[in-house]
């Protein structure tokens, strides 16, 4: 029988029809738990479609703060007859199945090992609300009410959320509360409330925010000084552009003239978007684009230009499941090879890997500094899970003293001081050379930027030795990059461990949960989270300090593992691949299953029910 769940430890999945307004009710549910101070994560599992198809919303509540996806649905809330068969199947043994009993479930469909919570949502809504436009919406609020009773969610918190959502609209709030009460009362009258798992107030989310990664990237771009954004719509990156527009309109309009201190170009495609970004950066503005895999593929040629002509470029890749159009509404970390090596010829690019909304904010801002410092593309590799789902995060912070690093740019005075300006002259021996911006000086410092080979003074050349010298300088710059990118974060045991876990981005939540589980089993294990490629010395050290390192990532081909091997010249045997590539966020149980294929599984560890 049922053996999962407990106080502040359960998973609820909502099964809805997309385009029916369930999203806001579901978000309210998750947010109410957050406001109760309890760690919670919510994942939208939506179709590549606008209206009428099944969509799911999965909420994990975990008092210990393990917020990666967890297998096993404790409570299924099903309002979609289309997906009901599937939803029945996906509920864990002994779990609860709440559904709209306006249309009762046929006996032959019922699983014996589930507990049914039947509530006539549509009937209740229709009876109590006359305006047909609202019936659908209030149906959703009714189930939120029922859940609040079942899971001990403070009604006042929900009412607070409604008040925040509809400021000054008491009437609307009132109707919503009415719907809420319908649910609460129905639940209390018909079921034993609460269930044996439920939410209980904590202080764990105090001071934190709940925000999606794309919005955080967008705010990061505003604070990071982006003035030009160019983009082309593509799921799951679109909301980065939306967010940038929203916050720029709030924060970057000149109060006196009403004019904009930013320009957003919705380009005709991704090739144009990256072209705009390169043109703007060449001309001294901080500019960026946001896209997903197919966009990165299309940007290949331009990324090679930016690498070779050394133009700062910031690209946010919100990864989705590839290849090709793949599963556009599912998550993966599968553009790593594509982004790292983007373009023909000998090219390598700097990648950043945020794993929380806070880091989306921070790394987006940092990407502009790095791009201008290194004069090369910087790609922020986020993904659908991080980008489009709300996550509990540290609040965003910005040191008012913080100055942008605009990199090596000669102004008119600098030019007057130098005898002869050499655009590609490595005067500081770090591989990074000085650039000038158009319009700087009447007679000095102008040069021709090109994707063809040139000498230290930017003069076109087909001389092989000069070409090779330049290519070697780019390697020197690459080595400098290793010292400038954010170093990894370590989660090491106090005692020496032979096993290391290595992960990055959205794999972090589940990897840390897996680590905790191993430690509980007295397995000594260290962990390192990559924040960037190329890799600093500490990455090498970590790998060589451990007998075996598990590289956990969400793609089929172990892309990060290959890059680690290539960049660090490591024997592949040291690195074991732990992979998930079905488009759903990786779980701790899955990680453990794969790790225990390589090391002895402790007796007590039940990877099923972590």
Partner 1 sequence: MSYKRPAFRHPAAATNELGFHQKDYEGAMSTLCAGCGHDSISAAIIQACFELSIPPHRIAKISGIGCSSKTPTYFLSNSHGFNSVHGRMPSVATGAVMANKSLTYIGVSGDGDTASIGMGQFAHVVRRNLNMLYVVMNNGCYGLTKGQDSATADVGSMGKAGVATMFSSIDLAGLALELGAGFVARSFSGDKDQLIPLIKAGISHDGFALIDVLSPCVTFNNTTTSTKSYTYVRDHMETTSIADYVPEKSEITASVAPGETKVIEMHDGSVIRLSSLASGWDPADRLSAKNAIYNANKKGEVLTGLLYVNADQPEVHRILNTVDVPLNELKEDQLVPDADALESINASFM
Binding site partner of 263, from partner 1, ligand TPP, ligand SF4, none, Cβ cut-off 5-8 A by kind = partner 1
Q: Which does 338 bind (CB under 5 to 8 A by kind): partner 1, ligand SF4, a copy of itself, none?
A: a copy of itself
Q: Which of 65, 407, 451, 602 binds a copy of itself (CB under 8 A)?
A: 451
Edge-to-edge strand ranges of the sheet holding 532-533: 263-266, 228-231, 287-291, 313-319, 377-383, 350-352, 532-533
Query: In whole angstroms, what is the distance from residue 147 CA to residue 135 CA?
Result: 19
Using only the alpha carbons of the chain, give its radius of gyration: 27
Separation CA 512–CA 526 (nearest Å): 10
Mark residues 232-251: x for contact with partner 1 by CB under 8 A, - for none: xxxx--x--------x--xx
Contact pick of 108, 189, 254, 569 for partner 1 (by CB under 8 A) = 254
**Residues 344-363 interacting with partner 1 (rule: CB under 8 A):** none
Closer CB to ligand SF4, residue 18 or residue 140?
A: 18
- What distance in Å separates the CA atoms of residue 334 and residue 327, rounded to the nearest whole number? 12
Residue list 525-564, contact with ligand TPP (CB under 6 A): none
Task: Identify what 393 binds: ligand SF4, a copy of itself, ligand TPP, none; CB under 5 to 8 Å per kind.
Answer: none
Q: Residues in contact with ligand TPP, total (CB under 6 A)?
A: 8
Pick from 571, 600, 603, 604 the residue near a copy of itself by CB under 8 A. Answer: 571
- Using CB under 8 A as the binding rule, the residues of this chain from 185 to 224 that contact partner 1 are 208-211, 219, 222-223
| Cα–Cα distance, 467 to 327 (Å, whole number) | 42
Nearer to a copy of itself among residue 331 and residue 393 (C-beta): 331
Q: Are 338 and 557 in contact (CB under 8 A)?
A: no
Complex with a copy of itself: residue 130 or 324, whichever CB lies closer: 324
CA distances to 69, 275, 325, 453 from 382, in Å: 17, 21, 18, 33
Which H helix or E strand runs over 178?
Answer: helix 170-190
Per CB under 8 A, which of residues 21..60 are in contact with partner 1?
A: 35, 48-53
Task: Please state the closest distance from residue 192 (CB atom) to a copy of itself, in A.
Answer: 35
Q: Considering the complex, state which of residue 425 and residue 599 has its C-beta at the smaller distance from partner 1.
A: 425
In the 3-class helix/strand/coil scheme, how is 484-551 assigned residue by residue? HCCCCEECCCCCCCCEEEEEEHHHHHHHHHHHHHHHHCCCCEEEEEECEECCCHHHHHHHHCCCEEEE
Cβ proximity to a copy of itself: between 35 and 349 the closer is: 349
The whole-angstrom separation of Cα 292 and Cα 51 is: 23
415 binds partner 1 (CB under 8 A): no
Residue 565 touching a copy of itself (CB under 8 A): yes
Number of Cβ within a 10 Å radius of residue 278: 24
**Pairwise CA distance, residues 224 & 492, whole Å:** 32
Rounded-to-integer distance, Cα 388 and Cα 409, Å: 36
Q: Is 172 near partner 1 (CB under 8 A)?
A: no
Query: Does residue number 294 form part of the binding site for ligand TPP (CB under 6 A)?
Result: yes
Q: How many residues does the chain have?
A: 610
CA angle 91, 357, 335 (to 5 degrees): 80
CB of 563 to a copy of itself, least distance (A): 9
* Binding window for partner 1 (CB under 8 A); candidates: 193-201, 255-263, 369-377, 425-433: 255-263
233 binds ligand TPP (CB under 6 A): yes
Among positions 184, 230, 234, 527, the unique one binding ligand TPP when judged by CB under 6 A: 234
Minimum distance of partner 1 from residue 563's CB (angstroms): 26
CB of 49 to ligand SF4, least distance (A): 8
The C-alpha atoms of residue 605 and residue 598 are separated, in whole angstroms, by 15
| Rounded (5°) CA angle 283-286-292 | 115
**337 interface partner picked from a copy of itself, ligand SF4, ligand TPP, none, CB below 5 to 8 A per type:** a copy of itself
DSSP 10-64: EEEEEEEETTSSHHHHHHHHHHHHHHTT--EEEEEE--SSSSSSEEEEEEEEETT
Considering only 111-119, 436-444, 471-479, 484-492, which stretch makes contact with partner 1 by CB under 8 A?
436-444
Output the six-digit token pair for 255.
Answer: 């109060």
Of 1 and 50, CB closest to ligand SF4: 50
Task: Determine which residue in the list 64, 572, 597, 608 makes contact with a copy of itself, applying CB under 8 A.
Answer: 572
Beta bridge partners of 230: 265
Between CA 225 and CA 204 the distance in angstroms is 33
Report yes or no: 369 and 343 within 8 Å, Cβ to Cβ. Answer: no
Q: Which one of the spans 138-146, 257-265, 337-345, 410-418 is the region binding a copy of itself (CB under 8 A)?
A: 337-345
Interacting span for partner 1 (CB under 8 A) from 9-17, 450-458, 497-505, 558-566: 450-458
Whether cis (ω within 30° of 0) applies to the bond prior to 534 is yes
Contacting residue, 39, 194, 275, 583, with a copy of itself by CB under 8 A:
583
120 near 100, Cβ under 8 Å? yes
Q: Contacting a copy of itself (CB under 8 A), which of 119, 182, 296, 432?
A: 296
Per-residue contact track with ligand TPP, 235 to 274, x per CB under 6 A? -----------------------------------x----
List CB contacts of 448: < 8 A, sequence separation 6 or more: 454, 458, 460
- Which positions touch a copy of itself (CB under 8 A)? 47-48, 292-294, 296-298, 300-301, 304-305, 307-309, 321-330, 332, 334-335, 337-339, 341, 343-348, 450-453, 462, 464-465, 467-468, 471-472, 475, 555-557, 559, 562, 565-566, 569-573, 581-584
- Which positions touch ligand TPP (CB under 6 A)? 232-234, 270, 294-295, 298, 325
């Amino acid at each position: 029988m049922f053996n999962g769940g407990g106080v502040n430890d359960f998973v609820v999945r909502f099964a809805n029809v997309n385009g029916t307004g369930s999203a806001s009710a579901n978000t309210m549910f998750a947010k109410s738990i957050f406001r109760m101070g309890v760690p919670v994560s919510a994942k939208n599992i939506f179709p590549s479609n606008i209206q009428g198809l099944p969509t799911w919303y999965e909420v994990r509540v975990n008092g210990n703060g393990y917020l990666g996806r967890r297998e096993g649905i404790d409570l299924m809330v099903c309002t979609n007859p289309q997906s009901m068969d599937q939803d029945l199947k996906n509920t864990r043994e002994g779990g609860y199945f709440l559904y709209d009993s306006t249309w009762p479930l046929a006996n032959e469909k019922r699983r014996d090992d589930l507990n049914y919570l039947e509530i006539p949502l549509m009937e209740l809504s229709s009876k109590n609300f006359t305006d047909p436009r609202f019936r659908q919406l209030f149906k959703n609020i009714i189930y939120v009410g029922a859940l609040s009773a079942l899971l001990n969610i403070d009604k006042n918190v929900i009412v607070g959320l409604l008040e925040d959502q509809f400021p000054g609209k008491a009437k609307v709030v009132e109707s919503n509360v009415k719907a809420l009460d319908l649910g609460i009362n129905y639940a209390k009258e018909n079921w034993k409330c609460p269930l044996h798992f439920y939410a209980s107030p904590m202080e764990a989310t105090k001071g934190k925010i709940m925000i999606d990664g794309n919005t955080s990237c967008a705010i990061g771009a505003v604070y990071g000084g982006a003035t030009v954004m160019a983009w082309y719509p593509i799921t799951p990156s679109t909301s980065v552009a939306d967010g940038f527009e929203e916050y720029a309109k709030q924060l970057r309009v000149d109060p006196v003239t009403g004019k904009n201190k930013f320009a957003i170009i919705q380009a005709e495609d991704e090739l144009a978007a990256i072209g705009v970004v390169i043109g703007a950066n060449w001309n001294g503005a901080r500019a960026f684009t946001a896209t997903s895999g197919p966009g990165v593929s299309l940007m290949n040629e331009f990324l090679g230009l930016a690498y070779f002509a050394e133009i700062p470029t910031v690209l946010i890749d919100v990864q989705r499941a590839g290849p090709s159009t793949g599963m556009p509404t599912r998550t993966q970390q599968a553009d790593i090879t594509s982004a790292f090596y983007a373009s023909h010829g000998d090219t390598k690019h700097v990648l950043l890997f945020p794993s929380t909304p806070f880091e989306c904010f921070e790394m987006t801002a940092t990407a502009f500094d790095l791009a201008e410092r290194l004069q090369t593309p910087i790609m922020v590799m986020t993904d659908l899970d991080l980008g489009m789902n709300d996550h509990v995060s540290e609040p965003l912070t910005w040191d008012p003293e913080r100055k942008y690093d605009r990199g090596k740019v000669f102004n008119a005075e600098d030019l007057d001081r130098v005898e002869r300006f050499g655009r590609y002259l490595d005067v500081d021996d770090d591989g990074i050379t000085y650039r000038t911006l158009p319009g700087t000086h009447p007679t000095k410092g102008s040069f021709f930027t090109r994707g063809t080979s040139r000498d230290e003074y930017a003069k076109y050349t087909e001389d092989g030795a000069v070409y090779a010298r330049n290519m070697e300088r780019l390697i020197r710059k690459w080595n400098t990059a290793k010292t400038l990118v954010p170093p990894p974060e370590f989660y090491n045991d106090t005692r020496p461990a032979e096993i290391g876990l290595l992960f990055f981005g959205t794999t972090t939540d589940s990897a840390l949960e897996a680590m905790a589980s191993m430690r509980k089993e007295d397995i000594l294990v260290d962990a390192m989270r990559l924040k960037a490629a190329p890799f600093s010395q500490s990455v090498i050290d970590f790998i060589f300090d451990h007998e075996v390192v598990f590289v956990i990532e969400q793609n089929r081909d172990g892309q990060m593992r290959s890059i680690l091997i290539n960049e660090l010249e490591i024997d592949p045997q040291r690195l074991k691949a732990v992979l998930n590539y079905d488009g759903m966020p990786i779980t701790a149980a899955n990680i453990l299953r794969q790790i225990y294929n390589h090391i002895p599984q402790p007796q007590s560890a039940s990877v099923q029910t972590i």
